[in-house]
Chains A and B, each alone.
Chain A
């Protein structure tokens, strides 16, 4: 008698899995970014909307293209390319020409992520790689700022937005003169601080009724969206705390020494891209260390570097380079901060 042979499938433990997956985390990061995006559109109108759309589409498209070129299944369903697109758009000036945004997106995605092998293998945050490229290649448009809450922003584009590909952006001075309120200088609060030692009201910084990148202007909203992710345990709050804490501490120190030329800590925290960087970019899981001690060091390093660049560098904003440097350091930080294992045997003391 022979028993019918059945296929036996043996599985090994654990047989349970926590209901949280990579695509779920990434999707929730996108959800958390949506209010920031919506507020950017409210402030800067259809130009910001177009910028978000173009960056996201190009990022997703680039990932898809590279997967196909490599002959493997497309990985766009993990939502990480969407995050890169949205983040990149949020760090660009609202008047940034769309064709340049597309090039920056392609570069960030291709060089920053896909060349390394896609999600999980990239060394740096791809959105920031794209932005760094834009900063180098398109310096003038990257530093051209337009006023928030301009009248007619939902019906007409900022003239430079629709610059035809590979052409110099249409000048926006005339448009700004038409829409801006009296006294608009085209400078961000950070530039005002750096070059004119003029501080901006903290309340204004919190609500974001200032000029700046599409998404970096409302510190309060960004913080709230970050809290949502922290509550869902999808973001490492220690990195954000490390960045903000050390930035506040270092700038506080300088403020105590010479309050007349250095900004106060609150201004440091809520101005420029620090909040967006601390909440959404430094916390990029792939490019940050995985050890508990490591994330604190990494966060603190970014905070310190940001303040140093802001106060002493040639640029008025330092978050981007601080995070990129932090990213580059993170494998090293991980390596030197390996956790102390349970029951590690101490070296025997020599008998007295």
Chain B
């Protein structure tokens, strides 16, 4: 398969993918702001399921003293990761707390010792270069690593492709194509050494010969910073691709960097690729040589609705309200989006904690939301703008018409389940039809119909 794609001469391979959209970038709020450590709150709320897969199993009991960096919950099987104490303190209780999506979920409540220096005492150095791929993969799981780009999929699972897949290239995703967000941008500028180290660990784990760090051309400074610290052997390269949404989607990145198409419903490893986000890779580079776990992450808090936008290093479990109050948040939760404006969701409550997967909060004002919506929904005029925008070459126009008619099963013929909900179609639709929103409902309805059919 890869032999075929390699046979295509480079001048025929595009530097980007076809279709996509160009929303206003609005990175100026925080792109120039160095990462700052955020103070610890009095209590940390550590959700047991911050990742895709099974929730972690608590290892601590109320009243127990924990040291910063110490494991406090273990992985429940392969599709799960452990959890580490982000601060030195005492376990207060384990209880149900609200989550960003709505339903209450169990969490470990950790009371942070006031006046404690929070020095990092946990962990011991180890030599990665002597470790076998299996050991590295186990170490990645032990570090509690998940995809920090937002999906929070356990990283060690991605490092364990089916045996018949032969991974030759690691792609590091530094596109950060969502407007407003600058987490990855700052990490690439400020911690290129860890990024390169992490990349090398990933290459070793997957036994890949080369790695490409991909970023968009609105982040030339980041590309420069990484190029200065690249290893001399040329195994890792930096490639700058045009700024376009959703360039940071795995499939789009694979197309842009190495001109391979990840098969529908398949893994990147099927075409010899492993794709990892910059924030995840930096954490691998920083944590693995010290046998440490994920206890904090960089979060961009941005938007016109906040007084002090910036990039902050926040302890996992910090309540959102604690952060927003210190940064001058005016407004209510309905104008608060976790993640970027294209794929992020509004949060149900301000009392939700920071989880491993949240890389940013965007605060809009009511007038911004007003400005960004079409006052009236018109009928579909078949203009085809959505067809021109869909990065997967689906036909959102047709899918939308079927969704309105509730012909959910027929939508599968138009590849409903390939849609990864990037939102390009809704963004461009001049009729203001909430296409991707329809598709979310349709997918749920479709699954429902199937499970009902299976029961019979």
Chain A interface residues toward B at CB < 8 A: 6, 8-18, 20-25, 78, 117-121, 236, 285-292, 295, 334, 338-345
B342 at the interface (CB under 8 A from A): yes
Q: Which residue of B lies closest to A338 (CB)?
A: B395
Q: Which residue of B lies closest to A24 (CB)?
A: B430
B437 neighbours in A (Cβ, 8 Å): 12
Assess whether B423 is in contact with A14, with CB atoms less than 8 Å apart. Answer: yes
A10 neighbours in B (Cβ, 8 Å): 334, 345-346, 348
Interface string of B346-366 (1 = CB under 8 A from A): 101000000000000010100
Q: Which residue of B lies closest to A339 (CB)?
A: B393
B345 neighbours in A (Cβ, 8 Å): 10, 12-13
Q: Which residue of B lies closest to A118 (CB)?
A: B379
B284 at the interface (CB under 8 A from A): no
A84 to chain B, nearest CB (A): 13
Assess whether A16 is in contact with B418, with CB atoms less than 8 Å apart. Answer: no
Assess whether B261 is in contact with A342, with CB atoms less than 8 Å apart. Answer: yes
Q: Which residue of A lies closest to B393 (CB)?
A: A339
B60 neighbours in A (Cβ, 8 Å): none
Assess whether A15 is in contact with B430, with CB atoms less than 8 Å apart. Answer: no
B382 at the interface (CB under 8 A from A): yes
Q: Which of B255, B334, B393 contacts A341 (CB 8 A)?
A: B393
B348 to chain A, nearest CB (A): 6
Assess whether B332 is in contact with A14, with CB atoms less than 8 Å apart. Answer: no
- For the complex, give the distance between the alpha carbons of A338 and B437 in Å: 22
A341 neighbours in B (Cβ, 8 Å): 264, 392-394, 415, 418
B432 at the interface (CB under 8 A from A): yes
B427 neighbours in A (Cβ, 8 Å): 14, 16-18
Highest count of chain B CB atoms <10 Å: which of A6, A15, A78: A15
Would you list the 6 A-B pairs with minimal beta carbon distance, nearest first?
Answer: A120-B379, A14-B423, A290-B384, A339-B393, A22-B378, A343-B264
Q: Which of A78, A120, A295 contacts B380 (CB 8 A)?
A: A120
Assess whether A290 is in contact with B415, with CB atoms less than 8 Å apart. Answer: no
B24 neighbours in A (Cβ, 8 Å): 16
- For the complex, give the distance between the alpha carbons of A338 and B261 in Å: 19
- Identify whether the interface residues of B are mostly helix, strand, loop, or mixed: loop
Q: A16-B372, A119-B378, A343-B261 are in contact. Are A291 and B395 (CB under 8 A)?
A: yes
B15 to chain A, nearest CB (A): 17
B424 to chain A, nearest CB (A): 8
Q: Which of B23, B379, B381 contacts A16 (CB 8 A)?
A: B23
Q: Which of B332, B391, B426 contacts A17 (CB 8 A)?
A: B426
B55 at the interface (CB under 8 A from A): no
Assess whether B343 is in contact with A14, with CB atoms less than 8 Å apart. Answer: yes
- Identify whether the interface residues of A are mostly helix, strand, loop, or mixed: loop
Q: Which of A14, A21, A236, A345 contacts B431 (CB 8 A)?
A: A21
B426 neighbours in A (Cβ, 8 Å): 14, 17
Q: Which of B341, B364, B391 contacts A14 (CB 8 A)?
A: B341
Q: Which residue of A lies closest to B390 (CB)?
A: A339
Q: A6-B332, A16-B341 are in contact. Are A119 and B395 (CB under 8 A)?
A: no
Q: A17-B432, A21-B378 are in contact. Are A292 and B387 (CB under 8 A)?
A: yes
B83 at the interface (CB under 8 A from A): no
- For the complex, give the distance between the alpha carbons of A24 and B421 in Å: 26
Chain B interface residues toward A at CB < 8 A: 21, 23-24, 179, 251, 255, 261-266, 332-334, 337, 339, 341-346, 348, 362, 364, 369, 372-374, 378-384, 387-388, 390-395, 397-398, 414-415, 418, 421, 423, 426-428, 430-432, 436-437, 440
A149 to chain B, nearest CB (A): 38
B364 neighbours in A (Cβ, 8 Å): 15
- For the complex, give the distance between the alpha carbons of A345 and B261 in Å: 10
Q: A12-B437, A13-B345, A339-B395 are in contact. Are A121 and B384 (CB under 8 A)?
A: no
B243 to chain A, nearest CB (A): 15
Assess whether B378 is in contact with A236, with CB atoms less than 8 Å apart. Answer: no
- For the complex, give the distance between the alpha carbons of A295 and B382 in Å: 11
B440 to chain A, nearest CB (A): 7
Assess whether B341 is in contact with A342, with CB atoms less than 8 Å apart. Answer: no
B342 neighbours in A (Cβ, 8 Å): 13-16
A82 to chain B, nearest CB (A): 15
Highest count of chain B CB atoms <10 Å: which of A16, A236, A341: A16
Q: A13-B344, A21-B430 are in contact. Are A290 and B264 (CB under 8 A)?
A: no
B415 neighbours in A (Cβ, 8 Å): 341
A292 neighbours in B (Cβ, 8 Å): 384, 387-388
- For the complex, give the distance between the alpha carbons of A22 and B265 in Å: 35
A8 neighbours in B (Cβ, 8 Å): 333-334, 348
B264 neighbours in A (Cβ, 8 Å): 341-345
- For the complex, give the distance between the alpha carbons of A13 and B373 in Å: 12
Q: Which residue of B lies closest to A117 (CB)?
A: B379
Assess whether A290 is in contact with B397, with CB atoms less than 8 Å apart. Answer: yes
9 cross-chain CB contacts under 8 A: A10-B334, A10-B345, A13-B339, A14-B342, A286-B382, A339-B395, A342-B251, A343-B262, A343-B266
- For the complex, give the distance between the alpha carbons of A10 and B333 in Å: 9
B440 neighbours in A (Cβ, 8 Å): 12
- For the complex, give the distance between the alpha carbons of A121 and B401 in Å: 11
Q: A13-B342, A15-B369, A345-B264 are in contact. Are A339 and B394 (CB under 8 A)?
A: yes
B414 neighbours in A (Cβ, 8 Å): 338
B421 neighbours in A (Cβ, 8 Å): 13
Q: Which of B21, B262, B339, B383 contacts A18 (CB 8 A)?
A: B21
Q: Which of B369, B384, B430 contacts A22 (CB 8 A)?
A: B430
A25 neighbours in B (Cβ, 8 Å): 383, 430
A271 to chain B, nearest CB (A): 30
Assess whether A345 is in contact with B383, with CB atoms less than 8 Å apart. Answer: no
Q: Which of A13, A236, A290 contacts B395 (CB 8 A)?
A: A290
Assess whether A15 is in contact with B432, with CB atoms less than 8 Å apart. Answer: no
A78 neighbours in B (Cβ, 8 Å): 378
- For the complex, give the distance between the alpha carbons of A290 and B414 in Å: 14
A295 neighbours in B (Cβ, 8 Å): 384
- For the complex, give the distance between the alpha carbons of A25 and B384 in Å: 13
Highest count of chain B CB atoms <10 Å: which of A9, A11, A119, A292: A11
Q: A25-B430, A290-B384, A341-B415 are in contact. Are A13 and B436 (CB under 8 A)?
A: yes
B266 neighbours in A (Cβ, 8 Å): 343, 345
Assess whether B382 is in contact with A285, with CB atoms less than 8 Å apart. Answer: yes
Assess whether A13 is in contact with B263, with CB atoms less than 8 Å apart. Answer: no
Q: A11-B346, A13-B342, A18-B23 are in contact. Are A290 and B337 (CB under 8 A)?
A: no
Q: Which residue of A lies closest to B337 (CB)?
A: A15
- For the complex, give the distance between the alpha carbons of A22 and B377 in Å: 9
B373 neighbours in A (Cβ, 8 Å): 17
Assess whether B384 is in contact with A236, with CB atoms less than 8 Å apart. Answer: yes
Assess whether A120 is in contact with B382, with CB atoms less than 8 Å apart. Answer: yes
Assess whether B378 is in contact with A20, with CB atoms less than 8 Å apart. Answer: no
Q: A119-B379, A344-B264 are in contact. Are A13 and B394 (CB under 8 A)?
A: no
Assess whether B334 is in contact with A9, with CB atoms less than 8 Å apart. Answer: yes
Q: A21-B430, A291-B395, A342-B261 are in contact. Are A13 and B341 (CB under 8 A)?
A: yes
